[in-house]
Amino acid sequence: MSAAESSTPRVFIARHGETEWSRNGRYTGVTDLPLLEDGEKQVLGTGKRLVGPGKLIEPAKVGHVFISPRQRAQSTFRLLFGDDGTSNLTSSGKVSTEEMIAEWGYGDYEGLMTDEIRALRKKRGLDQERPWDIWRDGCEGGESAQEVSDRLDALIKKIHGIQRPCMYGEKPADVVLVAHGHILRAFTKRWLKYPMDFDFSMMMPPGAIGVLSYQKHDIDDPAIWIGMALPTETE
């Protein structure tokens, strides 16, 4: 990554660590599960390697952190940044708990697995010609793909407001989103201006961090990092 590229604001998307339901593949929206011990270790390992001075996410370059209200995301934020980083960001007014980055509202499908959801929908007379796809069909009793798209577009507009004046590194403007698997993949689609049902497969394991930014310092030309060299760690 060149010096010019590094001055362009970035959006880091951080998925919370493992919970009991993410471990066994159950859809977890509003159910407020804690991190498992293994989930805490995942996040601590990520934070140790990627968060801190001279690392991928430098707290001094962060303009704002948006965190889902669920405890698994709140805990992940604290573990990623540590006590000092959490305190410094919070006291400087750079941390918000944000409903717009809460997990997809699964409604009737909360706590179910994909096969169970598809069987339930078949029983209700749905999807007779093609299997259920959340990106197209949304969730009964929960959010549609359009509703999720609308709230993420509103969040992206807010992020653009933070980053637009800082496209050449005029001041710290990196944004960190700490949230959930489905909503972060949905956010990535909308960041790239793809419709929710665009066929764009993504994988994001618990505790993972992804990177989004802009090409040529242009706020109207969003991009995704598909690979990058990590900075040398400082002692």
Query: From the annotation, which residues make up the binding site for substrate?
Result: 28-29, 72, 103-106
Please confirm, yes or no, whether 103 is among the known catalytic residues.
Answer: yes
Take residue 112 and report the two structure tokens written for it.
């179910």
What is the four-CA torsion angle of 147, 149, 155, 156, rounded to 10 degrees? -160
Helices assigned H by DSSP within 51-144 = 71-91, 114-123, 134-137
DSSP 129: S
**Cα gap 234→52, rounded to integer Å:** 9
Of the candidates 16, 64, 180, 182, the residue annotated as catalytic is 16
Residues in Cβ contact with 165 at an 8 Å cutoff, skipping those fewer than 6 apart: 171, 173
Is 109 in contact with 143 (CB distance < 8 Å)? no
Please confirm, yes or no, whether 16 is among the known catalytic residues.
Answer: yes
Of the candidates 18, 64, 98, 103, the residue annotated as catalytic is 103
Distance of CA 25 to the CA centre of its chain: 18
Distances in Å between the Cα of 1 and the Cα atoms of 5, 6, 166, 175, 230 are 6, 6, 18, 18, 9
Active site positions, annotated = 16, 103
